[in-house]
Each structure stands twice: as structure tokens, then as C-alpha cells.
Structure 1
């Protein structure tokens, strides 16, 4: 059972997400929170697998809550909830440790699939939001220059991250051990100056890097 906590200051949004997720097999919303402080308390108390976190909320906002949640022991996967006018906030959320982001307007069936992806340890990048985010804020030439500093194998691993694959999946496709892939990911983050694998995945998208398979 995938345990989910939904966080949004709009109670109707929480109710909408609960209705969709509770109807999905093997998934349950175990709690709701309406600001960042409540979100952190809910995570500590309920120990969910995934948190859907609104970014702009009164009091303690979603960005601060994400920073606090990811430092907890065995933290859940936190996915930022966004709308088109929150690009700067999305980037800050990813740097704070969010596992990805999705639009509040995401279709119900896609929402369920994306929550499963997050729970499995993969990166969640809402395709429409990603294109807007990269088109509005990214320096593609700089991204390509950074990618050019990578070895061929490092670029292949980065492409796998951009496709939302886990270390295990990347290892299987590249015929490497999972420990070797983990080492590549650690070196990638240092080389690219990224805080986490989600930010690295966005950089790969920005540079136009795609897996071959």
C-alpha cells in the first residue's frame, strides 16, 4: 500500500486529490495538511511514502517544509504541486530536495501513475510543466557546455536520470552493477554542480539529452 499525505492550503484541492488517490488500487491518502508546519508534523506522525506538497501556503510555505522533511530519518518522496506561474518556486523546490513536480491540473489517471513512479523511487517530471520551465528559465547553451564535460558513460547515466529511471533500471540497461551506477550519479552531481538527481535530470533535459533505448 502506497501511503500518501496531501498538503495544500486549499481544502478543496486536498479533497479532490484524496478522491482520486483513494480510488486507486494499492494507494491511500493517510493524512492532509494545510500549511508547511502541519505537513512536517503529519510526515513524522504518519510516515507516508509520498507527500504531495503545495509550494505557496500561508505560514510555513512548501519550500521550507520540503527542506525540513528531507532531513528526517528515512524521509518520504516529496513531489511539489505547481501551476504555470510558479516556475521559480519549482526550481527552488528541486534544489531543496523535492523528487519532482506535477501540475495540480494533472489528469486523474496520470496523477495516480506519477505517484506510483515517485513511490518507486523515480523522478517525477510533469512533461508540460517541464517544457515551460526549461523554455522560460534555462540557458540551453550553458547546459550543453556542462554536458560536454561528461564521459560517454556519464552522459548515458544522466540520460537515464532524465527518463526518470532508478539506479537499478539504469544499471540493467547499461549492463552495470547498481553500485557502479550510484558512483556515476555521485560524480555527475559534483561535475554538474547539482544538489540532487532531479536537478541533474532537468539539466539533461535542458541540454536535449535523451536515452538511446
Structure 2
């Protein structure tokens, strides 16, 4: 088993927030806070220097915001996953964050254990979204179909895959859960997105939450 720690970059313009996060994370086994930044520019510099596994980024910052910080980080360190951690409940910020390259969007109200879980999940390539946002996020556009007819267009297996995507499971995890091949999962994911008229897994998860299919 690898003993390489998960390297985390903290990006927040409030020093007290960074200090609190660092104090907590450095007590956790397998976590290393490799750098801190208080601006998008500094975030890019630190990401280039330490090549973190995950960058924990506040959305609201002076000058350039967290969206720009996310773009800058991803441009200099494409391997780095970005988890937005913010107090902003602005639903219009969620999709732009993912469009900018974020892999997760969480509110600062979450507990420490939830934050750790999100960090590890994002590092594994999963996407995470706070349940409060998922339940009330704007519904992605689909074709001119009612939600019921869109669901009816999915096969039983495709509905299973959709619900597991809404739980944040990766293709590998879905394959293990359903005991099918990963290539088959990819096919089902493509079918789900195509039938619902969506462009990515995040939109599919939000759609499932919006329709009350996922809990």
C-alpha cells in the first residue's frame, strides 16, 4: 500500500480560515498541507511549485475569484483536482465552478469528517456536490420532454446507473456495485446523458436530485 500522503493546497483570502483548515488537516493521517494561497495568482504559483493532489478553494475572494483560481490551478497543474469550499449558496455559482474545472462544490458548514471524505473522493476522480445544493440546483436543460417521459426512456439498468452517478460513484465503483464491466458502465453513462440531453455526470446527478429520484 502506498504511503504517499495526499497533498492539499489551501486557497482562501482569510488567514484564520486557512490556519483552521491546516490545523485540522495536519492532524489527519495521510494528509499533507503542502501550501497556502490568498489569491488566484498565488494559488497558481503554489500549485506549480508543489503539484498538489487537491486544491481546496474558496469561491469568494477579492480581485480574481475562486473560478479564476480554479482555472489558473488547472492550467499549471492539470493533475490537481479542485474542491470548492465556500459559504456561498448562490446556485448560479455551481455549474460555472464545474465548468472552470472543479471536481466538487461543498459548503463550509460541513463537518470535518465530511470534508475528509470529499477530499479523498475528489482525489480519486469523483465529483461531489453538497446535498443542499443538489436538491435545489437549477434543472439542466433537456430536450422538450417531461421528466416522467425522460425517465421512462431509460432502461432499468440505465436508471440504476443514473442513481449511482447521483451518489457520486465513479465508473469503477458502479461496475463493482452492479457486478458488470466498466466498459458496460461507460456505455450506460453515455446512453443516460444522451437520452436526457445532458452533457456530463454533474448535470445528470443534479437532474436526478431535482426529480426526486436520488436522496
Normalised-by-shorter TM-score class: 0.7 to 0.9
Aligned-pair CA distance for 1:95: 3.0
Q: Are residues 1:109 and 2:101 paired? A: no
Partner residue, 2:201: 197
Of the two, which has the highest radius of gyration? 2
Post-superposition CA distance 1:62-111 (Å, at most 9, x none) = 11232344455642221111225332112321233321211112222222
CA distance in 2, matches of 1:193, 1:139: 9
Q: Are residues 1:85 and 2:92 paired? A: no
Label 1:150 to 1:65 Cα distance change in 2 as closer, same or farther (>3 A). Answer: farther
RMSD: 2.7
Q: Name stretches of at least 5 consecutive residues in structure 2 with no aligned partner.
A: none
Partner residue, 1:176: 180
1:108-147 paired onto structure 2 within 5 Å: 108-131=112-135, 133-134=136-137, 137-138=138-139, 146-147=150-151
Number of equivalences: 208
Q: Residue 95 of structure 1 contacts residue 199 of structure 1 at CA under 8 Å; is this kept in 2?
A: no
TM-score normalised to structure 2 length? 0.82
Q: Name stretches of at least 5 consecutive residues in structure 1 with no aligned partner.
A: none
Q: More relative contact order in 1 or in 2 (CA 8 Å, sep 6+)? A: 1
CA distance in 1, matches of 2:140, 2:170: 26
1:22-101 paired onto structure 2 within 5 Å: 22-71=26-75, 74-101=78-105
Q: Residue 143 of structure 1 contacts residue 204 of structure 1 at CA under 8 Å; is this kept in 2?
A: no
CA distance in 1, matches of 2:46, 2:153: 42
